[in-house]
């Protein structure tokens, strides 16, 4: 007798080994349970596409009020919260000043000035780290 690893082969192998009525019921129950577990295990999150969907933020303003005397940089964090039960995609996160901005963003561990197509899972959040680099010797 050969061993099969496909679902139907496993069923035939188990079915041949147990010829009684209880063996058949047991095999069918095990196969039904395995099918239920397999069908419920991997669900893809649907993407929320509603134009009225809004995200929540841990703060509405990021304020850098540090007096820069020796260190010319400071970092603040902002949490972007997805309150929905569906995944949501942020089309673009960017700095208004572009490449000449003294600020740097860190999104998902990647530093840069702009990011696109950032996804936040259902009922999850995203941390944004904002860093400013200024010359501490500047009079401004």
63: three-class secondary structure by DSSP:
coil
Q: What percent of the chain has pLDDT over 90?
A: 39
Residues 33 and 56 in one domain: no
Residues 36 and 64 in one domain: no
Asked if the structure places residue 62 within a domain, the reply is yes
**pTM > 0.75:** no
For residue 98, the domain's CATH number is 2.60.40
pLDDT digits (tens, 9 = 90+) for 14-45: 555 555 666 677 778 888 888 787 776 666 77
**Alpha carbon of residue 38 to chain centroid:** 23
Average pLDDT, the chain: 80
At 81, the pLDDT band (50, 70, 90 cuts) reads very high
At 79, the pLDDT band (50, 70, 90 cuts) reads very high
What does the DSSP assignment read for 3-60? ---SHHHHHHHHHHH--SHHHHHHHHHHHHHHHHHHHHH--PPPEE--TT---EES-S
| Cα–Cα distances in angstroms (integers) from residue 122 to residues 36, 67, 86, 88, 102, in the given order | 24, 39, 4, 7, 33
Asked if the structure places residue 140 within a domain, the reply is no
Residues 36 and 53 in one domain: no
CA pair distance 100, 113, nearest whole angstrom = 9
């Amino acid at each position: 007798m050969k061993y099969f690893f496909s679902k139907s082969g496993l069923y035939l192998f188990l079915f041949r080994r147990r010829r009684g009525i209880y063996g058949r019921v047991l095999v069918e129950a095990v196969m039904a349970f395995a099918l239920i577990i397999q069908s419920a295990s991997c669900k893809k999150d649907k993407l929320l596409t509603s134009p009225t969907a809004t995200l929540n933020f841990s703060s509405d303003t990021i304020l850098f009020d540090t007096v820069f005397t020796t260190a010319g940089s400071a970092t603040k964090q902002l949490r972007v919260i997805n309150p929905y039960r569906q995944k949501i995609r942020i089309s673009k996160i960017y700095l208004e000043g572009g490449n000449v901005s003294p600020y740097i963003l860190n999104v998902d561990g990647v530093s840069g000035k702009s990011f696109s197509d950032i996804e936040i899972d259902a009922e999850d959040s995203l941390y944004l780290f904002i860093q400013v680099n200024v010359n501490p010797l500047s009079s401004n």
